[in-house]
Structure 1
Amino acid sequence: MDNQGKIAIVTGGTKGIGRGVTMELLRKGFFVIITYSTDTAAAEEIRSQVGDMHKRLSIMKVNHSCKNDVYSFCQQIKEVYSKIDVLICNAGHTNRKPYTDQSDEEFEQVMQVSLFSHNTIIRELFPLLSSSSQIVFIGSMMAIYPHAVSVAYGVAKAAVHALAINLVKEFDGLGTTVNVVAPGFVETEWQEGKSAEIRESIYSKTAAGRFATIEEIVSAVNFCLSNSFVNGSVVEVSGGYNFK
């Protein structure tokens, strides 16, 4: 498929799954706009590593926990682009404090980054997305199976799944598809701090007996982008989590 001239947005596109998707879209010929919140070093690293593809990469600092930042981002996109072909809603946030120690503000921040910011982006950019575009949310198995680490994260991702499914109706008849890729545990920076004991506990609950690679999650995103009949789906990529 010739993707020259096509525009993609990847929120949280400088690390982990977002970075993997960004690199794949660049390889496919897209012009890719990625957002990051605070880690300037990671943003500069991806810019330096893409080689000549940097001409098709725009990196924008957007604090997804700040509503004004999100609206400003949307305004900048509307001023420059007339259509967005692919939107990957990947930016996320968690809080690993004990549930009873979390403040309202901390819970709301998790919801703002994962859910509300993407809802704002899709609503504000609706005219740019409403002509055979493809939207993929990065959800989570924590939205499907309970996990003790972060209630706020699981609730936010469950709401992300619900938003995606309901948006199918909003884009009905416009040719735009909306799907979710729901990873289990993936070898990203988020997981680097897990002890061997915790990892073994997770492995013991997962039929595959390991974490996913980033490439395996990117492959699932590609599936959603390459098949126009996949719409309103939650694609679980968990290695069989909770099947043991």
Structure 2
Amino acid sequence: MTDSHKVAIVTGASGGIGKAVVQRLANDGFAIVAHYAGNPAEADKAVSEVVERGGRAISVGADIANENAVRTLFTRAREDFGRIDAVVHCAGIMPLKPINLESIETFNKVIDVNLRGSFLVLANAVDTLGPGGRIVAFSTSVIAKSFPNYGAYAASKAGVEALVHVLANELRGKGITVNAIAPGPVATELFMKGKTDAQIQHLAQLAPLERLGQPDDISGAVAFLVGKDGEWVNGQVIRVNGGFA
């Protein structure tokens, strides 16, 4: 079966990396289910661009931390396209707060969306994908840096990496790969928010390549993992970061 018959769910499709993943996988022949949480206009725009180029795509809203909402996302994908071959879980949040008692609500929210949400997406993928299926979650290269104020975010993504390693083993014999992408600093709204120009420039210089990543840098790595050349890569965290960590 050629990629022109394959279907991918991309969560967080209204964000910078998610939109790039939607466009790349659509260009590679996948029909796309573009998930969004709070920005339907951007998800609809991504879908329209795919359709204008002759591809197939729909947008579906869902609270990624809500069990019923995630189940409905997968049900909608099967109803519209008949199958699901790849699940790329880009959705997440990154509020920055210190580790103190005043930050507990932020911590709870980050864990709820980033870690519980990842568990729900991965669990639904297990129930949906067949042999040849691909699951790609998202971690972060900031885990290795331990920057102040990144405690909740880094903890949530370290949990995602653990889920990926365990799930790859749990799916032994199923013919389904499970991997994660761990980007370094990428020039997206999520990354830029709350940072000064000086902070952004400093972070851009940390990698030996001395630049911020671009969404297309990340979408290319995703395309590799869900494409034919990635079929022997399993249980890995791919740090796409220009040497950042």
Question: CA shift at 1:45, angstroms?
Answer: 2.2
Question: CA shift at 1:118, angstroms?
Answer: 2.5
Q: Is contact 2:13–2:46 with CA below 8 Å preserved after alignment?
A: no
Question: CA shift at 1:2, angstroms?
Answer: 2.5
Q: Taking structure 1 as reference, are residues 29 and 78 closer, same or farther at Cα in structure 2, changes over 3 Å only?
A: closer
Q: Is contact 1:13–1:22 with CA below 8 Å preserved after alignment?
A: yes
Task: State whether structure 2 residue 236 is matched by structure 1 residue 233.
Answer: yes
The residue aligned with 1:41 is 41
Q: Taking structure 1 as reference, are residues 54 and 63 closer, same or farther at Cα in structure 2, changes over 3 Å only?
A: farther
The residue aligned with 2:188 is 188
Identity in percent? 29
Q: Taking structure 1 as reference, are residues 75 and 148 closer, same or farther at Cα in structure 2, changes over 3 Å only?
A: same
CA RMSD after TM alignment? 2.1
| Alignment of structure 1 residues 113-128 onto 2, 5 Å | 113-128=113-128
Q: Output the TM-score relative to the length of structure 1.
A: 0.89
Amino acid at match of 1:239: G
Q: After superposition, give the CA deviation of every residue in 1:102-147 in whole Å (9 maximum; x if it has no partner).
A: 12x4322212222222222332342321321011112110233312
Q: What secondary structure, in the 3-state scheme, does the structure 2 residue paired with 1:178 have? A: strand
RCO comparison, higher one (Cα < 8 Å, 6+): 2
Amino acid at match of 1:203: A
Q: Output the TM-score relative to the length of structure 2.
A: 0.89
Q: What secondary structure, in the 3-state scheme, does the structure 1 residue paired with 2:242 have? A: coil
- Alpha-carbon distance between aligned partners in 1 of 2:88 and 2:220, rounded to the nearest angstrom: 14
Amino acid at match of 2:197: A
The residue aligned with 1:134 is 134
- Alpha-carbon distance between aligned partners in 2 of 1:81 and 1:167, rounded to the nearest angstrom: 25
- Alpha-carbon distance between aligned partners in 2 of 1:191 and 1:78, rounded to the nearest angstrom: 33
Q: Is contact 2:85–2:130 with CA below 8 Å preserved after alignment?
A: no
Q: Is contact 1:168–1:178 with CA below 8 Å preserved after alignment?
A: yes
Unaligned runs of 5+ in 2: none
Q: What secondary structure, in the 3-state scheme, does the structure 2 residue paired with 1:237 have? A: coil
Q: Is contact 2:34–2:47 with CA below 8 Å preserved after alignment?
A: no
Question: CA shift at 1:188, angstroms?
Answer: 0.7
- Alpha-carbon distance between aligned partners in 2 of 1:125 and 1:202, rounded to the nearest angstrom: 34
Q: What secondary structure, in the 3-state scheme, does the structure 2 residue paired with 1:122 have? A: helix
- Alpha-carbon distance between aligned partners in 1 of 2:146 and 2:75, rounded to the nearest angstrom: 37
Q: What secondary structure, in the 3-state scheme, does the structure 2 residue paired with 1:149 have? A: coil
Q: Taking structure 1 as reference, are residues 67 and 174 closer, same or farther at Cα in structure 2, changes over 3 Å only?
A: closer
The residue aligned with 1:219 is 220
Question: CA shift at 1:55, angstroms?
Answer: 5.6
- Alpha-carbon distance between aligned partners in 1 of 2:59 and 2:153, rounded to the nearest angstrom: 26
The residue aligned with 1:197 is 198
The residue aligned with 1:61 is 61
Unaligned runs of 5+ in 1: none
Q: What secondary structure, in the 3-state scheme, does the structure 2 residue paired with 1:4 have? A: helix
The residue aligned with 2:209 is 208
